[in-house]
A and B are shown apart, each in its own frame.
Chain A
Amino acid sequence: MRWQLSALILFVISFLVISCANDQDIEFKRAYSAGEVVYTQHCQNCHGNNGEGLSALMPPLTDSVYLKQNKTQLACIIKFGLKDKLVIVSGKPYQNQMPPADLAPIEISQVLTYVKNSFGNKMGVVKVEDVNKDLGDCK
């Protein structure tokens, strides 16, 4: 009897602990860890393990101001790449070609969540609905 009781108490406590972590937090963590996988496969070679970029060839991903100012463009840049376009990141010019990455909107939202919350950035989760909206407005 005593054994059953303590098992029940343990179950109740663990249930409480799990439900304490709220849904938003779980959603963020899920997107972040999935985004890390996408980043490793599609972005890391050029932009580096720590988003540091490569000299004046590849821009770093550490410029929160750039990420904020170009918020609605980021999904388009990832999906279609960049060609002959000058971008100013952390006050430095970059004009290298960026190849398009054939990613689904959900993957784009995941990798953006990862980038925007790594390398010193802290900008919260990127929702797939927003990515879909931004992709519809690509120039």
Chain B
Amino acid sequence: MRNLFYALICVLALSACNNSASQKMLPIYGNREASTKTVDGKTVTDTIYQTIPKFNFINQYGDSISNKSLDGNIYVADFFFTTCPSICPVMHRNMLNVYKEFKNVGNFKIVSYTIDPKHDSVDVLKKYADKLGVTGNNWLFLQGQKEETYKLAKGYMVEAREGNVHDGYFILVDKQKRIRGSYLGTDPAEVTKMIADIKTLQAEPDQNIAQ
């Protein structure tokens, strides 16, 4: 009996150690390569992660928004178009919850790229944002060249192509512009998980360094 008791103490102590040691981290997605440099005579190997490529688009207020404008922000991106009758209303109904959750939090943004720039002018995007109930700069609706948008979608590891075809994923990007999660935007349960993951990401030490 006494042996059993000691065994129990040991197991408890071990599990307590495990809990405190493992701080939750989100995975880092995409390709990675090793870069070996010589610093001060020592060989140092670093991992270079896949990051979101450069872009320069226009938002719903007619302002220019580039990848640089998002520096220092954790953000969620998706691809949509305003006249989409199928999955977009569902995606943005769910995204609205994300918007409300982080409305008063700094360094967080939502970025929705239109894949139909011919119809979705700045004016159309502004009206769409207004009607959705979005104000301020926390949720940006971006419009750029069609081909550029398709190319950029690949950088986010999602699909967008001719004929207004796109998938419904929300992509979570960290302050180093690395992809940290992808969630089916049409599924409320996945979006709830994303909200939790955003909070986890915000708590990561890396994300608190001023960029």
With a CB–CB cut-off of 8 A, which chain B residues contact A58?
Answer: 89
A 55-73 to B, binary, CB cutoff 8 A, 1 in contact else 0: 1111000000000000000
Is A33 close to B, CB under 8 A? no
Partner of A54, one of B87, B89, B130: B89
Contact B93 A54 (CB under 8 A): yes
Is A45 close to B, CB under 8 A? yes
Is B131 close to A, CB under 8 A? yes
> What is the size, in residues, of chain A's interface with B at 8 Å between Cβ atoms?
11
Contact A56 B85 (CB under 8 A): no
A58 CA to B83 CA, complexed, in Å: 12
Partner of B131, one of A46, A55, A97, A99: A55
With a CB–CB cut-off of 8 A, which chain A residues contact B133?
Answer: 55-56
A48 CA to B89 CA, complexed, in Å: 9
> What is the size, in residues, of chain B's interface with A at 8 Å between Cβ atoms?
14
With a CB–CB cut-off of 8 A, which chain B residues contact A48?
Answer: 93
| Secondary structure dominating the interface of B | helix
With a CB–CB cut-off of 8 A, which chain B residues contact A118?
Answer: none
| Secondary structure dominating the interface of A | loop
Q: How many A-B residue pairs have CB under 8 A?
A: 28
Which residues of chain B have a CB within 8 Å of any CB of chain A?
83, 85-87, 89-90, 92-93, 96, 128, 130-133
With a CB–CB cut-off of 8 A, which chain B residues contact A54?
Answer: 89, 92-93, 132
A39 CA to B34 CA, complexed, in Å: 52
A45-B131 contact in complex given A55-B96, A97-B83, C-beta closer than 8 Å: no
A96-B86 contact in complex given A54-B93, A55-B96, C-beta closer than 8 Å: no
| Residue contacts A-B, CB under 8 angstroms, 6 given | A45-B86, A45-B87, A55-B133, A56-B131, A57-B128, A99-B85
Q: Shortest distance in angstroms between A108's beta carbon and chain B's nearest beta carbon? A: 18
A 80-114 to B, binary, CB cutoff 8 A, 1 in contact else 0: 00000000000000001101000000000000000
With a CB–CB cut-off of 8 A, which chain A residues contact B86?
Answer: 45
